[in-house]
Structure 1
Amino acid sequence: MNRAELIKLAENWFAEQNWKSFKFQRDTWKNYLQNKNGLLNAPTGSGKTYALWVPIVLEYIKNNPDYKTKHKKGLKAIWITPLRALSVEIEQSAKRFAEEMGTQLTVGIRTGDTSQKERAAQKRMMPDLLITTPESLQLLLSSKGYDKTFKDLNAIVIDEWHEVLGTKRGVQVELSLSRLKSISKKLKIWGISATIGNLQEAREVLLGPESVAYKNSVMIKADLKKKIDVRSIIPKKMEKFPWRGHLGLHLIAEVVPIINNSKTTLIFTNTRSQCELWFQKLMEKYPEFAGDVAMHHGSINKETRLWVEQAIRNESLKAVVCTSSLDLGVDFAPVETIIQIGGPKGVARFIQRAGRSGHQPGKQSVIYFLPTHAIELIEASALQKAVNKTVVEDRIPYLLSFDVLVQYLTTLAVSDGFFPAEIYPEIKSTFCFQAITEEQWEWVLNFITKGSQSLQAYDEYKKVEIEEDGKFKVNDKGVAMRHRLQIGTIVSDAVLTVKYMKGGFIGSIEEWFISKLKPGDVFTFAGRNLELVHIKNMQVIVRSSKSKTSKVPSWQGGRMAFSAQMSELLREEMYEAAASMEKDTEGKAKKTSEELKALKPIFERQLRESIIPKSDEFLIETFKTREGYHAIFYPFEGRFVHEALGSLLAYRISLLLPISFTLAFNDYGFELLSDQEINMEQVLDNNLFSAEFLMDDLYKSLNATEMARRKFRDVAVIAGMVFTGYPNKLIKTKHLQSNSQLLFSVFRDYEPDNLLFLQAFRETFEHQLEEGRLRQALERISHQEIVWKACEKATPFSFPIITDRLREKLTSEKVEDRIRKMLKQLEK
């Protein structure tokens, strides 16, 4: 069959389903059938699975004319998804098309949830299409004779590439692809990505910057203008001093009519703890929702998660309170409405979530924005503009991640072994390692065979042997087993399972939260109040509790920061707010958004004490309370930049005056609190916001060594220098931390040029402190007029920052009491 006839087959099938193919789907089919590689940029819910699965099947039909009667088994295509929740959807779509076209192609899933029995069956005979994760693909590369498994591979599709890019999982995928390209000569590589700022770079990272694959590749964009309707839930009574202590729960009554008027609603929260709280409060205040509302987040057990996903599909649930666990994929056609609680911190995430509503081509998406405190309405106003202009973030790829390279080379050594001369060009062809030098390559080879220079005396670091023919190979079965158990780049705190005393698995929880509790303490988890009985063998044993007060687990995911684009949008909105408060010559206020209008009482109060900064102004406020002297700075750059900037200023001020500070920050600004007054004029005269000597001062101010030491734990785990333990006998986080700290200290004192040690510092500055953004912020501030306002008392802008600091220190009951008293004082 020629290409036109093949495409006609697909068109006919689409017509039978009462569908019409989109131009981007037809373009993808055509380019795939011309043996091109590519990146497909298409929004969630637009039919992107069929854009790539269809041509894979069509090519099979073309190459096997008697496909209806004969079938040669073996792996022909791999579909990589970053989320296990997506795999069932992809499997269903793939099976449906393959079967209805009369082929005998089989589809299988291999993820962390796949049973041992199923894996063993796959080992004997691979399905034709394998749906898997980046980690499971690496595990396949660690098995003996993997080249035979992949020799007939025609296609590999990396779904949700925007999610993987800019993480070490992305590096893991780059390395896997570099190997598969060499084994499978006919391999075509395709990525699917939602919109990101740096799409061209995303294609380069996927295919390798100078590679043949890149030169023979296309970028296909789905020109589907999805209409997104953003509606803000504006409080009827606007608090003049906003704080986020109630996590938006004071607006819970506003959410109920939205749930009742929709078939199905997803209520997105930013953190698992917020998810738990919202679910609890809905059940408590509206018991009639029992059985109609469920909860979904990554720590709830797999059976419950799958049940919830299925219940949304068949519309037996009215609403689901969820986290980013339902951000991606999981195709629920019927979801009608989305509610976003609190600022989503990034435009891309907001658009992705909005796209879950009206999740069908041509349908409008409806998303409600519920602010957790009033100032978040400025974010809502900014997001409306971003959605209209489609302003989205870049994803910054990792460079020279030596920890991932060490893991990957050990993987190859565990399976069939490798010859460095053969593998080096493959590694160098990837985006991540395009700049690797011969010296660095030699260092990595030395590291896996001898341990590093300072660890040569210890046999446990000599994992890979060099055989007589020069092949690098792992021959020790124990080393091989431990390595396979630890393949992956997602390093989180150790996770403990939560179980009832009488048995019954509830979910999993991070160790750093549980380690703060003692037996008898009550905490909320999976929508229930549980009392901690004891912790044994990585299991948290609990019993149900009727206690009304409880602690809510906080997860590390709660520390999301603004993206650069979001910060810029927010500043523009703030400048517009300043302009809107100035009447024009005829005394009329300037035209502005509903959200900014609603914030007028807050802006009026802010202007009574201080100013709303304009585009050429940078605001600093100082005032005194019984806690001490407060100095608040407003860069509007997001919490990570503020954490670094606050430490930097505190350090620079301490060089001028003998003074120590307590630091607090949120996405809008940061506070320096001290028991003595800062001489602000002296501070401003000394050019504090200079970008000169930035790295040097940051290093001294932030205790960068301490941050790098923490970062090094992840590097050490990925590089296999510390072992995380066996499945039912994981090593406690504090032991992992102490093992990695010991190595860190050895390298610092005896081998400061160790590449993994240096990498920990580089990642701390580039990814954690966002040093590039910090430098840009300082340069921007240096061109603004610095307006210092000595205020009588706290202002509406400063209030959320002060109250956040209290929440870190006090229990929630005490915080609420304290804040009520503060509000009384301020309202006088």
Structure 2
Amino acid sequence: MKQTELIKIASNWFQEKNWKPFPFQKKTWKAFLDGKHGLLNAPTGSGKTYALWVPIVLQYIKDNPNYKEKHTKGIKAIWITPLRALSVEIQQSAQRFADELGTGLTVGIRTGDTPQSVRAKQKRSMPDLLITTPESLMLLLASKGYEKMFKTLTAVVVDEWHELLGSKRGVQMELALSRLKTVSPQLRIWGISATIGNLEQAQDVLLGMNQSIKEHSVLIKANLNKKIVVKSIIPKKMETFPWRGHIGLHVLDQVIPIIKASKTTLIFTNTRSQCEIWFQKILEKYPEFAGEIAMHHGSINKETRLWVEQAIRNESLKAVVATSSLDLGVDFAPVETIIQIGGPKGIAKFLQRAGRSNHRPGEASVIHFLPTHAMELIEASALKRAVKEDVMEDRIPYLMSYDVLIQYLVTLAVSDGFIPSEIFPEIKNTFCFQGITDEEWLWCLNFITMGSQSLQAYDEYKRVIIDENGIYKVESRQTAMMHRLSIGTIVSDAMVQVKYVSGGFIGTIEEFFIGKMKPGDVFVFAGRTLELVRVRNMIAQVRRSTKRTRNIVSFMGGRMALSSQMSEILRRELQSEADHKRNTPELKALSGIFDRQELESIVPGENEFLIETFKTREGYHTVFYPFEGRFVHMAMSGLLAYRISLLLPITFSLAYNDYGFELLSDQPLDVQEVLDNNLFSTDYLFDDLQKSLNSTELARRKFRDIAVISGMVFTGYPSKQIKTKHLQSNSQLLFDVFRDYENNNLLYIQAFRETFEHEMEEGRLRTALERIATQNIIWKQCDKATPFSFPIITDRLREKLSSEKLKDRIKKMTLLLTK
């Protein structure tokens, strides 16, 4: 059958549905049928699923002209999704198309949620089209006879590739694809990605370094220029001295009319605890919403999440308070309005959320931005500029993740075994390991067969044997089982299940939160007030409580930092303020703060770098304003404190937020003197950073994840997880052994490299220091705290005081400052 006839079949099907295929869909169908690999850049809800399911089914029709009489067995395509929640919808779309064309193709799902009986059935006879996650694909590669299983494979589609790209799950995908390319000769690789700054690089990472694949690949952009309207909810009363901590509830009454005016509203918060609080407060103040409002975040049980998703689709809910658990994929045509509470810290996340509203082609998406404190209005203004100028962040791929490579090699050894000379070229062809040397490869092989140099005496690290044919294999059934249970690269704090004493699962929370509580303590979770009865085997048993409590479940992921593109736009917004061009409603609303800032100090312009000093009863404050995000400020504050301490005997306590950082000491600092000593130089940056921040401690924490991924530390069986503190002590023991006896260990070195590259963002820090070196440094000696410095000072107090005491203290400070 000719390509034009095949495309006609698809077009007719669309016509029957009263749909019209987008140009990007047709372009993708044609490229796929031409045998090309590629990356499709398309936003959520634009029809990207049919852009790739359609040609996969058409290819089957082409290869099997008598498909209606005879069904060819074997797996034809794999669709990778990073989120299990999306798999059901993708399955429904694919099954509908395959059924209505009478192909007889079956579509199956295989994720962590798939029952064991279904998996066993799939093993005997694989579905034609399989929807799965990176982890479940790796488990298939860990099964005997996988080469035979994948021989009929013609396509792999990696959905939401931008989400996987900047993580080790992306590396896991690169390695899986490197194997599938060899065992499935007809394989076409496709990725689907939302807009990111480095789309071309994203395509390179997906397809690898093989020149012939690159030459036969395309990058297709959907170009559905969707209009996005950003509306800021400006508080009626603006504080002159803003501070982080109200989580925006002072604007609650301004949010309710927006909810009432829409059919369905999604209210996005940045953290799960914020999500819980907003849900509680809306119901407390507006009880008429009972039954019409729900909550959705990753720790709530699956049944509740699915119920909420379905209720949004059939418009039976007025509003849903959610976290990033609803950012991706889940398709809701009826959502009318989006409210974002607090700065999302990144442009891509903000646009992803905005795109959730009005999925109808040609209609604008409207997103309301609610600042949790006044300074976030600058972020709102910056976001508007980013939308207008089409600015987008890059996703930085991981390089040389030896822990993921070691896990992968053991996976191959668990299945049918591997011959290093055959696997090494495949690995060298991936983007992540294009620079791997023969010595590093040999080290990884030695690591899985002998443990490392300092672990050779321990048999548990000798996981792989080499048989007489030179094949690397795992022979121990226990080793194989422990490895299968540990496949994956997502390492988080151990999760504790929350259940009622009488049974009934509520959700999961991190061990660090429950670990601070004793029986009888009351907390709020999943919209319920609960009393802790006991913790046993990673299960927190609870009962309902009527006591009032301020103890709301908090999660470790609560503090995000500004992206570099966001920081740059933020500085440009301030520049327009410094030039007194208050040309957005947000900047106009901040005029009281800016006027006060000008009175005490200055608003720095684009070529100015501001340092403020003042004295309070706490001591002498020196505040710096790079506007580079909290991670860069964490590293820079430690670096400057260390460099200053080399010049004079002085100790500092540090505080930082997204806009700047503070060095507090008990003696005055002559800023000019330290500036004259190359304070912001990039010379010796790496060495100074290692000495300044407790980089060993940060690397030690990072090493725990590396130890788990590489299989040095076992996390336990499903019914008996090893406690986080034990994981930590096991990995710390290994870290100390390598530090003292084997500091050339690749995994030990990797822990430091990842700490600098991903935690401290050393590249961004270097760029920031280079920028500051070209700016005019202005040192302002102020009489008291300024509006810009106030949020940083109050953030430090937060560590010491309860929220009630903190409020009282801030009230007193504000009164003093406004006198």
| TM beyond 0.5 | yes
Change (3 A) 1:762 1:591: closer
Question: How far apart, CA to CA, are the structure 2 residues paired with 1:180 and 1:556?
Answer: 36
Matched, 1:600 2:591: yes
2:48 aligned partner: 48
Matched residue, 1:478: 478
8 Å contact 2:226–2:362 — kept in the other structure? yes
SS in 2 for 1:431: coil
Amino acid at match of 1:162: H
Separation in structure 2 between the aligned mates of residue 518 and residue 213 of structure 1, nearest angstrom:
58
- Which residue does the alignment assign to 2:445? 445
The letter for the 1-side match of 2:447 is: F
AA partner of residue 776 (structure 1) = T
**Equivalence for 1:469:** 469
State the 1:591 CA deviation: 5.5
> Which of these residues, 730, 736, 740, is aligned with residue 727 of structure 2?
736
Q: Write the distance in 2 (CA, Å) between the matches of 1:268 and 1:675.
A: 42
What is the aligned partner in structure 1 of residue 749 from structure 2?
A: 758
Whole-angstrom CA distance in 1 between matches of 2:668 and 2:521: 41
Task: String of CA shifts for 1:648-684, please: whole Å, max 9, x gaps.
Answer: 0111111122111111111000111122222222222
Partner of 2:646: 655
Quote the offset at 1:210 in angstroms. Answer: 3.0
Counterpart of 1:315 in structure 2 is: 315
- More deviation, 614-623/515-524: 515-524
Q: Which moved more, 1:541-550 or 1:89-98?
A: 541-550
Tell me what 2:414 maps to: 414
Partner of 1:202: 202
The AA in structure 2 aligned to 1:187 is L
Q: Which amino acid aligns with 1:421?
A: S
1:719 maps to amino acid: S
Aligned equivalents of 1:665, 1:524: Cα separation in 2: 29
1:393-417 deviations in whole A, cap 9, x for unaligned?
1111111100000000000000110
Question: Does the aligned pair in 1 maintain the 2:327–2:352 contact within 8 Å?
Answer: yes
In structure 2, the partner of 1:585 is none
Residue 819 of structure 1 and its aligned partner are, at CA, apart by 1.2
| Aligned-partner Cα distance in 1 for 2:156–2:5 | 24
Say whether the 8 Å CA contact 1:247–1:372 is kept in structure 2: yes
1:297-308 correspondence to structure 2 within 5 Å? 297-308=297-308
Structure 1 residue 258 corresponds to structure 2 residue 269: no
Distance 1:521 1:626, change over 3 A: farther
SS at match of 2:740: helix
Percent of residue pairs bearing the same amino acid type: 73
**In structure 2, how many angstroms separate the alpha carbons of the residues matched to 1:205 and 1:148?**
27
Alpha-carbon distance between aligned partners in 1 of 2:83 and 2:783, rounded to the nearest angstrom: 52
Do the aligned residues in 1 keep the contact of 2:524 with 2:549 (CA within 8 Å)? no
Amino acid in the other structure paired with 1:40: L
Between the aligned partners of 2:434 and 2:754, the Cα distance in structure 1 is 18
- Give the deviation of 1:515 after TM superposition: 1.4
> In structure 1, how many angstroms separate the alpha carbons of the residues matched to 2:518 and 2:656?
30
1:786-825 aligned within 5 A = 786-825=777-816
Corresponding residue of 1:283:
283
Deviation at residue 543 of structure 1 after TM alignment: 1.7
> 1:635 matched to which residue of 2?
626
Partner-residue secondary structure (3-state), 1:60: helix
Post-superposition shift, 1:755?
Answer: 0.5
Equivalent pair of 1:106/1:127 in contact (CA under 8 Å): yes
Deviation at 1:39? 0.4
Indicate the RMSD between aligned Cα atoms, in angstroms.
Answer: 1.0
What is the distance in 1 between the residues matched to 2:618 and 2:516? 27
Partners of 1:47 and 1:361 within 8 A in 2: no
Please show how residues 535-684 of structure 1 align to structure 2 within 5 Å.
Answer: 535-580=535-580, 590=581, 592-684=583-675
Structure 1 stretch displaced more, 729-738 or 806-815: 806-815
- 1:499–1:542: 8 Å Cα contact kept in structure 2? yes
Q: Deviations over 1:96-131 (max 9, x none)?
A: 111111111111111111111111111111111111
d(CA) in 2 for partners of 1:601 and 1:773?
A: 32
Counting only pairs closer than 5 Å after superposition, residues 104-143 of structure 1 correspond to structure 2 as 104-143=104-143
Question: TM-score, normalization: structure 1?
Answer: 0.98
Q: How far apart are 1:722 and its partner, in Å? A: 0.3
Q: Is the 8 A contact 2:582 2:588 kept in 1?
A: no
- For 1:639, the aligned partner's letter is R
Whole-Å separation in 1 of the counterparts to 2:498 and 2:109:
27
Q: Is the 8 A contact 2:576 2:582 kept in 1?
A: no
DSSP 3-state at the match of 2:475 = coil
| Match in the other structure for 1:689 | 680
What SS class does the counterpart of residue 777 from structure 2 fall into? strand
Tell me the CA shift for residue 156 of structure 1: 0.4
Is 1:345 aligned with 2:342? no
Distance 2:779 2:362 in 1: 51
Determine if contact 2:532/2:542 at 8 Å carries over to the other structure.
yes
Residues in 2 aligned to 1:279 and 1:226: alpha-carbon distance in whole angstroms: 30
Q: Confirm or deny: 8 A CA contact 1:528 1:544 kept in the other structure.
A: yes
SS in 2 for 1:86: helix
- Please tell me whether the aligned partners of residues 538 and 728 of structure 1 are also in contact (alpha carbons under 8 angstroms): no
Listed as ranges, the gaps of 5+ residues in structure 1 are: 581-589
SS of residue matched to 2:579: helix
The alpha carbon displacement at 1:627 in A equals 1.7
In structure 2, distance between residues paired with 1:494 and 1:481: 20
What is the match of residue 366 of structure 1?
A: 366
Give the Cα separation in 2 of the matches to 1:101 and 1:806: 65
Name the SS of the counterpart of 1:485 in structure 2: helix
Asked if 1:86 corresponds to 2:86, the answer is yes
> What one-letter code is carried by the residue in structure 2 that aligns with 1:737?
Q
For 1:177-209, what per-residue CA distance to the aligned partner results, in whole angstroms no more than 9, with x for missing partners? 000000000000000001111111111100012
C-alpha separation between the residues in 2 aligned to 1:360 and 1:97? 21
What corresponds to 1:70 in structure 2? Answer: 70
1-structure distance, mates of 2:563, 2:25:
31
8 Å contact kept, 1:45–1:361: no
Deviation per CA, 1:604-662: give whole Å up to 9, x if none.
11111110001111111111222222111100000000000000011111112211111
Quick one: distance in 1 between partners of 2:675 and 2:65?
78
Give CA-to-partner distance per residue, 1:451-492, whole Å, 9 cap, x none.
000000000000000001000000000000000000000000
Matched residue type, 2:625: Y
Instruction: Return the letter of the residue paired with 2:803.
Output: S
Find the aligned partners of 1:44 and 1:198 in 2 and give their Cα distance.
Answer: 18
Secondary structure at 1:646 match in 2? helix
Q: Which moved more, 1:600-609 or 1:652-661?
A: 652-661
